[in-house]
Amino acid sequence: MISKRFIGVAASVSFLVLGLIAQTVTAEVVPPGTDDDIRARLQPFGDLCRAGEDCGQAAAAVASGPLSGEAVYNQFCVACHATGVGGAPMLGAGDAWAPRIDQGMDTLWDHTLNGINGMPPKGTCMSCSDDELRDAMDYMVGQVE
């Protein structure tokens, strides 16, 4: 049977060990450098300009109006059609585009709108209008050599 004295000593040792661990874990860590170096590193990177505040510069112009077929291609289609990812026909590659064009423009439009194989619907341009997508499709077909 364990004596009460042994339990008391074990508890004291446990508290001592836990106290040493706590001191080690909570010891203040000082970053390298002088106080001035540390203050310089803690300065804000820039200023925050909130809506309605005059921050001394004009807001960046946001493009408005429809995107051209080339712009849609360069923003959304290029990732796959410039490299052939997932079997996508590369821009300008007549041998890859010929069988697709032979199926007719209505079929190409269906594939553009709804996707096919690894191509997602609308080629990932969910914000594109049908006209923008059709212009992108026409742009890519027009590049076939």
Domain residue ranges in the chain: 69-142
Quote the tokens at residue 23: 């001191």
Q: What is the pLDDT along the chain (145 residues), one digit of tens a residue?
A: 566 676 666 667 777 777 777 665 555 667 678 888 888 888 887 777 877 777 776 655 556 789 999 999 999 999 999 999 989 999 999 999 999 999 999 999 999 999 999 899 999 999 999 999 999 999 999 999 7
Q: How many CB atoms lie within 10 A of CB 108?
A: 19
Reported pTM: 0.57
Q: Which of 145, 136, 137, 2 is nearest to 72 (CA)?
A: 136
CB 111 within 8 A of CB 121: no
Give helix then strand counts, H and E, for the chain: 7, 0
Query: What pLDDT sits at residue 40?
Result: 85
Tell me the pLDDT tens digit for each residue of 6-26.
Answer: 666 666 777 777 777 766 555
Q: Which of 144, 84, 92, 143 is nearest to 118 (CA)?
A: 84
With the C-alpha atoms ordered 106, 107, 110, 111, is the resulting torsion angle positive or negative? negative
Residues in CB range of 114: below 8 A, 6 or more apart:
121
Q: What is 69-142's CATH topology?
A: Cytochrome Bc1 Complex; Chain D, domain 2 (1.10.760)
